Structure 1
Amino acid sequence: MVEMDRNNYKQTKTKRGFTYSYFYSAPASGKPVLFFAHGFPSASFLWRKQVAFFQPLGYGIIVPDQLGYGGTDKPTDPKLYVGRGLAEDMRDILDAEAVATVVAIGHDWGSYLVSRMLHYIPLRISAVALCDVGYRPAEPGVNSISQKEALIKMIGYDAFAYQRFFIQPDAAAIIEKNIDSFISMIYPEKPESWKENMCVDGGAREWIENNTITASPSYLIPEDKEAIKTSLLSGGLAGPLCWYTQQLEQANIDEDAKLPTAAREFTHPLLFIACTKDCVALPIFGDSSHGKYAKGPVTRKEIEADHWGPMSHAAEVNEMVLEWLGTLG
């Protein structure tokens, strides 16, 4: 397993009162700082192969454990996981390190977070790279959980059905009880397993309650699996699942509704790395969003990967990001 040096981890308390843990490595002279945002159910270690690649090249690195994960606080009120608050937490981390701007790189819910940073602290970002999950603009009253009919009409199946399990009051306890089954579902050997089990009503709950376990993909080595398991069980799933339940409660509406429509557009250079074997975050979702909201230069790449491109195709992802960084002014 590629390790991230624990000596590089720091902590800071944000203005909202949350203590965040984050990896930090200062940039060499003239190099930008890369800011990596992970999603569910990862922690900062999702980006370990990117850190191992970019740190020796002199790039500055900031990789937080997001709210609910790793060494960061884990509140269980979904309203604390709203876009503006999360973006301002990231601003406070940048301030703690006296970093003026970053190249923001997101995956999964990390792409949602980077999108909110573009909304609320756009001057702190110089460019954006999104892997697998594309730009997710603030659209008050709209959430992926409520899009069943629209999704079926668009792609032929209910891609976000599993989220309706994740927002149930008993989901955290069920997942914690059957953590190996959960990991087996989230990191499938066969990408189409997601479509067969997570994209049908009740499928995710049935998989985990039955404690179903199948073979792991080659990129999920035993040490990685153990790190994921330990991280999740040490803090529990209640916090991480708040990233989903805040959608149900539409906790973002008050803040996002105040956002001018023009603020959902952005002119920052964008790199989108689509994962062609992801049955949930289909490339078309990102492409559609970028076509509507990305008003600056867009670079689009593809990897033949499932959802976990930064892990399974790290070398390709790293080279794509490096090449793109070379095009920035």
Structure 2
Amino acid sequence: MESQEELRVRYFFERVEKSLKNKTYTFKPKQYGCITSIIAILPLLLILIVVVTSILSGITLLLFSISIIPITILKYGVYLFLIALVIRHFPRRKYKPDPALQEEFKSDILPRLTKSVYPTISYQEKYKTNNAELKAANFFSKDFWQEEGRLSGEDALKGRYKNVDFELTELTHYIEVLSQRGWFISILLGLFMIISETFADVLFGILDTIGGNALSKSKQNFRGLFLYADFHKDFKGEILLRTRRKSILEKITAPNTQLEKITPENGAVNKKYEVYTTSKQLGYYALSPTIIEAIEKITKELKADISLKLKDGKLYMIIPLEHNFFEIYKVKNNIIKANTKKDILWELQSVKYLIETLNLETRIWSKI
């Protein structure tokens, strides 16, 4: 017989499933976006033709007293432009979690599930990204911490598992880029500057009134898990294992110049990663064949190129992932489905998986 706790959780996920019934959430296909982008550009090209032909008309008027005024082109260019705007911004249903269900899940259901799996682990919805552990990890390059960027932390699990104190959280980094409106206004501004500085000044005045935020949007630059573990055994030195994948490598900080490069005896790991350490003795001892095989296993099973740092008895790890953990809905192939209790419990197993796969609980570092 189910307990009150189990009934509450089951009833919640039934409500989540029911919330998607009789609703069709769709996304604009890429092909549709490309077509409408072309449609939106064509009127701009026509307007550009108008500008050029107007200049030519002025020249012909001066030289031959004949004016060629492209009124028809201008008129239909404006019509096409307005139609393109309507098509481009045609209302479509977007994926947005039910706010009430989302709040209940994060504040009540998820903490309950966490305690049911790990009695000594707590869940926190928000994670402070200016903490000492993240700074000590020093994973990200200076370019990553650009002023217009924003690092967000959420869904943090903290506590002790098999005598290992740890923190595991989801990090997302956003950068500000031009929105579709921003690109459109930038092109329009360029055309106005060609036609008339007065028009451009008017547009600049409108932009000052609207504000720059109306022309930009937040774009996800990085998403992944951050693991910090302290196994209460001191060792002096540092080991850095970082991915060779260029798209991620440019976000990860370069190794300390005092570290020397080593080559572990594992072809699969060497192909994907490079390793730097304070001393070769420390590197080859700490990165035992068991640990190297664990890194290879994590890479394959999570399909992610990790970066790992061992420093003064602590482990720091970044796991780039597109998957958004601990949500009531999941999106795959433009289809939205409700997560189940089983799905969330599987995600909670990531703690157990990482600590046990890396063999952290055996305290192999005590002899270093």
* Greater RCO (Cα-Cα under 8 Å, separation 6 or more): 1
**Structure exhibiting the larger radius of gyration computed from Cα positions:** 2
TM-score band w.r.t. shorter chain: under 0.3
Normalized per residue, the structure richer in strand is 2
